[in-house]
Amino acid sequence: MAILVTGGAGYIGSHTVIELDKAGFDVVIVDNFSNSSPEVLNRLKTITGKDFPLYEGDILDRDFLVSVFEKENIDSVIHFAGFKAVGESVEKPLEYYHNNITGTLVLLDVMRQFNVKDIVFSSSATVYGMNNVVPFKEEMPTSATNPYGYTKVMLEQILNDVAFSDSDWSVTNLRYFNPIGAHESGLIGEAPNGIPNNLSPYITQVAVGKLEKLHIFGNDYDTPDGTCIRDFIHVNDLAAGHSAALNYLFNNENLGFDAINLGSEKGYSVLEILSNFEKAVGKEIPYVIDGRRAGDIAVCYADASKAKKLLNWEAKYTIEDMCRDSWNWQKKNPNGFKD
């Protein structure tokens, strides 16, 4: 019995593969390397001593997915594969809707064909939109401000409808807050293509000398230091959340659809993160204050009590751990997996 991990060569997927292996699950990876490198598999082998079965291909390709399900005895699926860059989704909405939504529809259809009806899905805190008040709780209304966010809102609805239509389905829909950090080995981590959109890789690329300075998007928010506040969570904690979600699926039947936040419940401002990175790196990191970025909300952090209650999971890593591990990865791999 194996867990199919779509997008298992990506940032969160690769860390989750290690955690699943530690927890004793057999893992099968599907990835088309559209936003990752085959080198990840070598690094995973160095860390775990295992050669995980890897099927290179696209989840949009039904015949390909069918061939994976025919060869492997898949018991449940963790579905990470998708595009995730907000700005790019505004420029390429068709590509985003096709890859994220059609890809998931094809996957669900093949799962149904093989009577595999347990899935853990990667959703995002972005579905809380602009109008909710922190801390964000799962029952709050969802909305989006860009095509990427809409793919998550729509996929949550689709998964909800699928679970409602057939009680054999169990969907654990995990809403991640802001993942940062890396495996403590420094062998795997976040390796964005081009100029990073997200705060943490931008800061570490400034620190390593690849970028000149950080641009902070706005210091006129209604927060103590004027910069936005986010709930940062170590990617290893997220990975452990997936293992906990699988145990929840295996120990319960016919769960229907559950949305569950994975966050630390703590909010740190952009300036606070920067100062934590400066401590980890041991030097000042230059920055300028720019205007606000469209679509950013002032404050975002989780109520993670549902994860604690249902999954027996809570975040353990501190902000110091997160900055240390992000930096360790960046300094050892200034060019990501090309090094």
**Window 251 to 280, contacts with ligand NAD (CB under 6 A):** none
Residues 273 and 204: beta-carbon distance below 8 Å:
no
| 3-state secondary structure (DSSP) of residue 233 | strand
Binding status of residue 299 toward ligand NAD by CB under 6 A: no
Which residue of the chain is nearest ligand UDP when measured via CB?
A: 228
- The closest of 33, 24, 25 to 3, measured between CA atoms, is 25
- Binding of ligand UDP at residue 202 (CB under 6 A)? yes
Q: Give the nearer residue to ligand NAD in terms of CB position, either 9 or 297.
A: 9
Span 61-100, contacts to ligand UDP by CB under 6 A: none
Which CA distances in Å does 47 have to 11, 183, 235, 318, 336?
A: 15, 9, 16, 23, 17
202 binds ligand NAD (CB under 6 A): no
Decide: is 104 part of the binding site for ligand NAD (CB under 6 A): no
* Residue 181 sits in the site that holds ligand NAD (CB under 6 A): no
Closest to 232 in 3D by CA, of 332, 325, 131, 329 = 325
Indicate which single residue of 178, 243, 276, 328 sits in contact with ligand UDP (rule: CB under 6 A).
178
Phi, then psi, of 30 in degrees rounded to 5: -120, 130
Please report whether residue 221 would count as binding ligand NAD according to CB under 6 A. no
- Six token digits for residue 204: 């570490």
Rounded least distance, CB 6 to ligand NAD, Å: 6
Asked if 189 touches ligand NAD (CB under 6 A), the answer is: no
270 binds ligand UDP (CB under 6 A): yes
SS (H, E, C) 166-209: CCCCEEEEEEECEEECCCCCCCCCCCCCCCCCCHHHHHHHHHCC
Closest CA to 222 of 328, 310, 131, 299: 299
The 212-231 contact track toward ligand UDP, x by CB under 6 A, reads ---xxx----------x-x-
Taking CB within 5 to 8 Å according to partner kind, which of ligand UDP, ligand NAD, none is near residue 176?
A: ligand NAD
Torsion of CA 93, 99, 102, 104, to 10 degrees: -130
User: Contact with ligand NAD (CB under 6 A): which of 26, 58, 278, 314?
Assistant: 58
Task: Check binding of 210 to ligand UDP (CB under 6 A).
Answer: no
Binding interface with ligand NAD (CB under 6 A): 7, 9-13, 30-36, 58-60, 80-82, 84, 99, 103, 122, 124, 176, 179
